[in-house]
Amino acid sequence: MRFRLALFAAVCIAFAPASFASADDAPVYSQPPKPDFSSMKFLLGSWSCSTKSARRPFAVASKDTYTLDPTGYYLVYESKSEPVAWANYAQDITQMITYDAELKQWAGVVTSTLGDYGLFMSNGWSDGKLVWHPVNNTPYLDIASSSDFAVTKVNDAHLTSDSSFTTKAGATVSVKGTCTKSS
């Protein structure tokens, strides 16, 4: 039986069309174009930010930076915040932002030092706003779902943000932020 299978395989290979095995017919791929980050260039640098959840007594401060990665395919957002009374641990967030030319949308992949993650999509800036839509929802603490995350460009050195989330108990909590460019 093994001999018959080996003979059958040898015959199939011997009579296979030449183009089947030829590398000449393999497609040649060119490097994909890099995203046009011109609408996001004003973000490059360091920002001092403050974010206030409606269910917390005070805002959380963070130091945020935007840089272009060495490949030119990503705008890298990093946010670092210190421990607060209701969370005795620091939190670092990283978002890799790129443009999906096929979907014609901006994509942001977010991770944090707390193990949460997310994928967000945006149509880009429109009337001074950039709205990120969460594609997935990472169950985190008591959060059941998140709203869109809207960033408003007040000017090249001042941003505000607005979002909300729904707790597993059904309460909706608004979250507002403001960022000022520091360098």
Q: What pLDDT, on a 0 to 100 scale, did the predictor assign at position 23?
A: 62
Fold adopted by 38-181: Lipocalin (2.40.128)
User: Model pTM greater than 0.95?
Assistant: no
Q: What pLDDT, on a 0 to 100 scale, did the predictor assign at position 1?
A: 46
Q: What pLDDT, on a 0 to 100 scale, did the predictor assign at position 9?
A: 42
32: helix, coil or strand? Answer: coil
Greater pLDDT, 76 or 6: 76
Q: At residue 11, does pLDDT exceed 70?
A: no
The pLDDT confidence band at residue 26, using thresholds 50, 70 and 90, is: confident
User: Whole-angstrom distance between the N-terminal and C-terminal Cα of the chain?
Assistant: 75
Tokens (6 digits) for 37: 């980050």
Q: Which amino acid is at 115?
A: G
